[in-house]
């Protein structure tokens, strides 16, 4: 079910910037609704009912931000996002989907924000400054590798002795991604303890790079040389 409530009284942090937003979605009713809502906040809006038409719009004119559906015929959101990253890596992308939990983990590295269609459109408006009018979330530099091990998250903001439990999906020299039994906000700094099979566990500070449902991405803030070597050996084994 799509919620369409928008608070027009100004509670959203969106400002009238004149930025050009491209919305790519095969649902034409939703396209019309988003076009009206975004124009009401002063954005210039382009709409495209397919991935191919969206890419053509990006190639033809400047686009400041893309709102992208995931489930689309012929060319899904992942394929469109990869092509956008090839054409113009700097364009922020918001993945706007009704089934965020079904999106493959590899897509998390292609987009800047995730917003559920099950939530009011006002929530989408709140994410626009985070994705397009402010600093984009950092992307990993080192390549990711599928890697499935348990890890623990220790948060100083939680009561003493409370530990969050996670299961990794991928690992790189600069971060780890996986599912967590709680939801942490992007930017939060925590302590991780990662089991590395035959290697000693790695304990390191990290920041939350993104959250999409139970999925989280963490960026290591500091690793010792021995910890980095342990990660490299684990990835090569």
Parent domain of 223: 145-236
Tally of structural domains, the chain: 2
Among 133, 159, 183, which residue terminates a domain?
A: 133
Is 176 contained in some domain? Answer: yes
CATH number of 151's domain: 2.40.10.220
* pLDDT digit string, tens, across residues 151-198: 999 987 777 667 899 999 888 898 998 889 888 887 789 999 998 876
- Those residues of the chain that have pLDDT short of 70 are 1-17, 130-141, 160-161, 198-199, 212-213
DSSP 8-state symbol, 129: I
Q: What pLDDT does residue 7 have?
A: 38
One-character DSSP codes across 182-210? S---TT-EEEEEEEETTEEEEEEEEEEEE
Residues 36 and 126 in one domain: yes
What's residue 28's pLDDT? 92
Q: Report the CATH number at residue 36.
A: 3.40.50.2300
d(C-alpha 121, C-alpha 89), whole Å:
26
Query: Does the residue 69 lie in any domain?
Result: yes
């Amino acid at each position: 079910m799509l919620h369409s409530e928008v608070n027009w009284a100004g509670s959203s942090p969106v400002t009238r910037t004149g930025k050009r937003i491209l919305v790519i979605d095969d649902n034409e009713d939703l396209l019309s609704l988003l076009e009206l809502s975004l124009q009401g906040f002063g954005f210039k809006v382009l709409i495209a009912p397919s991935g191919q038409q969206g890419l053509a719009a990006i190639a033809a004119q400047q686009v400041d931000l893309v709102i992208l559906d995931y489930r689309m015929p012929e060319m899904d959101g992942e394929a469109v996002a990869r092509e956008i990253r090839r054409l113009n890596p700097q364009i922020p992308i918001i993945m706007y989907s009704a089934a965020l939990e079904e999106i493959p983990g590899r897509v998390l590295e292609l987009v800047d924000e995730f917003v559920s269609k099950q939530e009011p459109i006002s929530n989408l408006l709140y994410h626009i400054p985070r994705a397009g009018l402010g600093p984009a979330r950092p992307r990993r530099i080192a390549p990711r590798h599928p890697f499935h091990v348990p890890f623990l998250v220790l948060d100083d903001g939680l009561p003493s002795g409370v530990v969050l439990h996670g299961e990794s999906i991928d690992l790189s020299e600069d971060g780890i991604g996986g599912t967590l039994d709680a939801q942490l906000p992007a930017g939060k700094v925590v302590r991780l303890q990662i089991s590395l099979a035959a290697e000693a566990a790695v304990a390191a500070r990290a920041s939350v790079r993104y959250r999409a449902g139970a999925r989280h991405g963490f960026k290591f803030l500091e690793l010792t040389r021995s910890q980095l070597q342990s990660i490299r050996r684990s990835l090569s084994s």
